[in-house]
Amino acid sequence: MDWSQMLQLLLFSLLCLTGNSKAVGELCEDKGRETERVFSVSGDAAMLTSTLVDLKVFNNGSIPYNISWYYLRTGTELSRETGKTLVRGKTLWIFNITMEDAGDYECVVRLPSWCYKKVALLIVNHTNPEECGRPEKAHQFLTNTASSRLSCPLSDHIREVDNYSIQWYKGCEPIVEDDPLWNRFSYVSYKAMEFLQVKTVILEDHAFYTCTMTFNLEGLSGRISETINGMVDVEYSLEPNMVEPANEIIEADLGSSFNKTCRVFVPSVGNKHFAHLNWIARENSISQIVSERIFQESQREWREEKVVWLERNLNFLMVKEEDFNIRYTCKVSSDRGSPSASFTLQPTDPNYLLLIGVLLTCLVLVFTVTVVIYHRFKIDIVLSLRRVFPLLYTNTDSDGKQYDAYVAYPRLFGDGGGDCGEAEMFALHTLPQVLEGRYGYRLFILGRDSLPGEAVVDAVEESMPASRRLLLVYSGSTFCSGGHSDSSSGVLEAWQSFERHMAMHHALLEGSLKVVLVELEEVTPTQLALFPESVRHLRERQGAVCWWKSSKTRRTKGLRCGSWGEEEVEEKRGELASSPLSSPSLSLSSHFWKELRYYMPVRGMRTKSPEKNHLLNL
């Protein structure tokens, strides 16, 4: 061979090398090999995925690029034209794989001014005719005695295909749903994930499980299988169960310390569990530094029979306003589940029970004080209301009554035999001086207001029903018996008795007249025993207005039973008639006059009657 022929052969070789470099040997930035190898067997399909785009070595959102795949053994670019391969973005699909398809596949990503390349490895394994499943197997665990599941490793493939169907195998036997032989097994689909659910796992469930996917992709059909070594784990833990917190609201005092425990139990056999507790607030994990105002302690755990207990405390050294209305969540991280629960801090409500108790105590005290004050000052209060608010009381002028009160008293007769004289003086002078002279009441006093020559019986029968009250004036000696034998005293005692009986008839039997007992001196038990039964009954039921309580001495020396001489009678009449109103007994502010006015009729908005003046002038 001469030199010219050798030169031509060299040029041809360089040209061939240049062509191969254009296909697979470009001067692209080499990113090495994919870390994940792809395993397959003859007859199956395989999917190779490039991570060049995922590595973000360029801005794939703004810079245009295209992807090419090459089989490095032949240096040829792969496309759909062959009918066996399909390039779909960053994935390369190879159908009906044979042993010759094993090897390196290069992915090239071209940009307008640069390119990147990376190699993926496909391994095609020989199958053993005596074994079912694939030579390369994934390892997954089933939990003994519990419900557990196996996950099909084809999730990435499922997301890429147009449609698919899944068939599970245990060993060489297909697992058929709704078959009584496989009633513990069921297919579960969730999004792009496929599971084989196994109820109440037993030791015999330890076997090889194959997940086979039959699919269609852009008109091409294929099948991919993955085999799982399903091992039954006799040491296991189940899903953690949250005990506290319980999604609750907890009250805390501002400025106080506070702590809350996260407590979880994990059903477990053996020493195996992978549960971890963590406190979270505002989507951030709470600090574990004990010098912080809010921190979480280290996790504690202890074991009981088939149960592992876990605890972790959350501590507040001092509660602040900013801690309220925040959700504090305890989250469990576990391969069996991640339950969580939370609590919310709120400021402590006021102690309404204490407030209610104080309020009720105050009300009881106020009520008691009010009752005591009213009982002590009832007469003053009622008289003040009558004076300040007369419109609240009904005018008594239209009730058909002529007098406010009928005054009944023991008469003083001048022949030395008779009743006690001060009662007559009190009825004839003191009562009219105050009740009529100062307060405008209209009184009927027998002998003073009766017409001349009018029969006593007629005067009493006419005047008493025409009165709103009856003032029965008496002393301790009023009802004393004895010493009166003359005819005048007998007549006087007879009409006084008639006057009293008529008053008691109206008061006790008819209820048309209210009797006010006016007691001039303190009555002894001996004297009280001599009182008529009707008077005693009335005195016990309603009491008496006591003149003697307003006097300086409780016993008045002039009040006695027995006869009086004419000089004594005149002397007494003169003393009582000339008694000034400024004396203690006649003081308008004394309790006696207030009490007597209290029992008298309410005046209301009444005008002065001219008829009263006419009667008084008779």
Give pTM, 2 decimals.
Answer: 0.45
Number of H helices, E strands in the chain: 12, 33
Which has more pLDDT, 240 or 423? 240
pLDDT at 446 over 70: yes
Compute CA distances 452 → 102, 246, 449, 456, 618, whole Å.
155, 100, 9, 10, 9
User: What is the percent of the chain with per-residue pLDDT over 70, rounded to a whole number?
Assistant: 82
Q: Which residue has the higher pLDDT, 183 or 551?
A: 183
Least confident of 360-369, 429-438, 546-555: 546-555
CB-based contact 68:76 (threshold 8 Å): no
Given a contact cutoff of 8 angstroms between Cβ atoms, the answer to whether 214 and 95 are in contact is no
pLDDT at 25: 53
Least reliable range by pLDDT among 83-87, 223-227, 362-366: 83-87
What letter would DSSP give residue 436? I
CA distance 445 to 510: 22
For residues 123 and 285, give the distance between their C-alpha atoms in angstroms, rounded to a whole number. 44
CA–CA separation, 553 and 585 (whole Å):
11
CA dihedral (289, 292, 294, 300) in degrees, to 10, reads 20
- Please give the angle made by the CA atoms of 416, 420 and 426, to the nearest 5 degrees: 125
Q: Which residues pair with 517 in a beta bridge?
A: 472
pLDDT tens, residue by residue, 28-63: 989 899 988 999 999 899 999 988 888 777 777 778
The amino acid sitting at 363 is L
Q: Would you say 475 and 427 are in contact if contact means Cβ atoms under 8 Å apart?
A: no
Q: What is the pLDDT of residue 480?
A: 66
What pLDDT, on a 0 to 100 scale, did the predictor assign at position 420?
A: 53
Helix (H) or strand (E) holding 70: strand 66-71
pLDDT, position 609:
47
pLDDT at 146: 79
**Euclidean distance between CA atoms 277 and 299, whole angstroms:** 7
Residue pLDDT, tens place only, 359-415: 999 999 999 998 998 888 888 888 888 888 888 777 777 778 889 999 988 875 444
Taking the C-alpha atoms of residue 250 and residue 252, their distance in angstroms, rounded to an integer, is 7
- The DSSP element (H or E) to which 359 belongs, if any, is helix 352-388
Domain with CATH 3.40.50.10140 in the chain: 390-616
C-alpha 431/C-alpha 520 separation (Å) is 12
User: What's the pLDDT at 5?
Assistant: 42
The CATH number of the domain covering residues in 239-347: 2.60.40.10
Burial code of 421-443, b = ≥16 C-beta within 10 A, e = fewer? bbbbbbbbbbbbbbbbeeeebbb
In three-state form (DSSP H/G/I as H, E/B as E, the rest C), the secondary structure along 35-49 is CCCEEEECCCCEEEE
**Rounded CA separation 509/442 (Å):** 25
Percentage of residues in the chain having pLDDT higher than 90: 35
Exposed (0-12), middle (13-18) or buried (19+): which is 615, by Cβ within 10 Å?
middle
Please state, in angstroms and rounded to a whole number, the distance separating the CA atoms of residues 118 and 361.
Answer: 88
Report the CATH architecture of 390-616: 3-Layer(aba) Sandwich (3.40)
Between 101 and 424, the more confident residue is 101
| Each residue's pLDDT tens digit, 469-492 | 999 998 887 776 544 444 445 555
Output 432 or 236, whichever has higher pLDDT.
432
| Rounded Cα gap, residues 263 and 267, in angstroms | 14
Residue 298 amino acid letter:
S
Cβ within 8 Å of residue 134, ≥6 positions away: 39, 41, 125, 127, 210, 225, 226, 227
Q: What is the pLDDT of residue 376?
A: 86
- Contacts for 33-37: CB closer than 8 Å, 24+ residues apart: 33/118, 33/119, 33/120, 33/121, 34/118, 34/119, 34/120, 34/121, 37/121, 37/122, 37/123
| CATH architecture designation of domain 137-234 | Sandwich (2.60)
Return the CA Rg of the chain. 60
| In this structure, CATH architecture of domain 27-125 | Sandwich (2.60)
Write out the residue limits of the CATH 2.60.40.10 domain(s) in the chain: 27-125, 137-234, 239-347
Distance CA 14, CA 16 (A): 5
Query: How does residue 608 score in pLDDT terms, banded at 50, 70 and 90?
Result: very low
Pairing of strands 115-125, 103-110: antiparallel
